[in-house]
Every structure is written in C-alpha cells, then in structure tokens.
A and B are shown apart, each in its own frame.
Chain A
Amino acid sequence: GDSVTQMEGPVTLSEEAFLTINCTYTATGYPSLFWYVQYPGEGLQLLLKATKADDKGSNKGFEATYRKETTSFHLEKGSVQVSDSAVYFCALTSRSYDKVIFGPGTSLSVIP
C-alpha cells in the first residue's frame, strides 16, 4: 500500500543553519504531496504542497520539490529560526483521494 518514510529525528540545529528533512514515498498513481507542521501543543497545519511532478511548493522560507523519478519530497530551508522548532510531517493523498497518509514526523529543535 501507499506509505511515507521520513528521516528519523530529533534534529537539532543552530539558528541560521541549513535544514533538510528527507521524505520518500511509495504510491500508485500520482498522489499530491504535502508537508504539515505541528507546533508544540497545537494541531497540524499545512506548510506547503505540490500536486504534480516537478512542482515546487514553498512557504515561510521552506521549499520542497516533487521528484517522481526518485519518489522524494525533501523539505529544505536555507536559514532556520528558533520559531521553526516543531514536528514536521510529510504526507500524500491516497489513490482514492479520500485519505491522507502521514509519515511518522520529524522533530526539529533550533537553538539560539
């Protein structure tokens, strides 16, 4: 079945460091891909999305490119801030579009 794999955390970075969180997926068809973010004590919220191959999603300085050839959707940010400390979830739509399949999440801590 469809699935999402993410790099294991926790990830700890210094402020202004470069961030990459790896995400790969297994799916039939052409799923839409997402990154969601969960700040402490809150629900998840959509960070960015891409709906077809080679699309780049971007928001708040974060970027991810939908790579069909490598089945990947890695999250990147050039310079992280303390306020980016959160858990990041990679996700995809199921083939029938009625469900979203989430990865296990990657915890990020940014220290001053």
Chain B
Amino acid sequence: NAGVTQTPKFRILKIGQSMTLQCTQDMNHNYMYWYRQDPGMGLKLIYYSVGAGITDKGEVPNGYNVSRSTTEDFPLRLELAAPSQTSVYFCASSYSDYDLYNEQFFGPGTRLTVL
C-alpha cells in the first residue's frame, strides 16, 4: 500500500491564481481530511469528508473547495490564491465508525507559497 499520497510536494503561486492539491489513499478509508499547518503552529481543519459524495466544512474553509467523487480521491481547490494561504497542507484519511477509534494516516504534505 502506498498509503496517502499528495501532489505536488511544492508549489509557488502568484496572487489570484488557482490550483488543485491532489490527495489519494489506497486503504479504502471512508473518512478523509484536509489540514493546513502554518509555521510553528498546530493543525487547522479545512474540510473533511465522511464518504464519497459527502463533504463538510472544518475550522477554516474560506478560500477553499473540495469534492469527493470516489472513495480514493479528495482534491482541495484553491481559488484566487492569497498570501494568507501560504502554508503546508496535509491530507489524511481514516476508517471510523462508532465502534472504532479514528486513527488518521497522513500524507507527506504540500508546501504552498503564494507571492
């Protein structure tokens, strides 16, 4: 299993540009998440999905969009990039139901700089 993969690893955007961060997992997990981590800070949840076709906002959804058309993929779309979106973005997945704990598996991250 490759686990959770993210592309690209690094990206520099100009203000106002758009891009999609890709995330794929091959563990058949039902839950997927997008977090951002600013330098020296903890994780902030952007969006999450509990299954294909279902998405929900996290703490900091403004400026982002997601979709979940398959179990495996959970892309994050940035529209009109702003310097405040400079961060490291992590995708995670987990299998969870009421009888199990929610152990999350993380991708290696995408380092995004908006200039």
Contacts and interface: CB of A to CB of B under 8 A. Distances in A.
Interface of A: 32, 34, 36, 42-46, 49, 51, 89, 93, 97-100, 102-105, 107
A104 B40 CA distance: 9
A97 B106 contact: no
B101 A49 contact: yes
A93 B102 CA distance: 6
Interface residues of B, number: 27
24 contacts: A34-B101, A43-B4, A43-B92, A43-B106, A43-B108, A44-B43, A45-B106, A46-B104, A89-B43, A93-B101, A93-B102, A97-B97, A97-B98, A97-B102, A98-B48, A98-B50, A98-B96, A99-B33, A99-B45, A100-B102, A103-B42, A104-B41, A105-B41, A107-B40
Interface string B34-68: 00000011110100101000000010000000000
Given A89-B42, A97-B97, A98-B48, A44 B31 contact: no
B75 interface: no
B103 A43 contact: no
A32 B102 contact: yes
Contacts, number: 58
Nearest to B45: A99
Interface in B77-115: 90, 92, 94, 96-98, 100-109
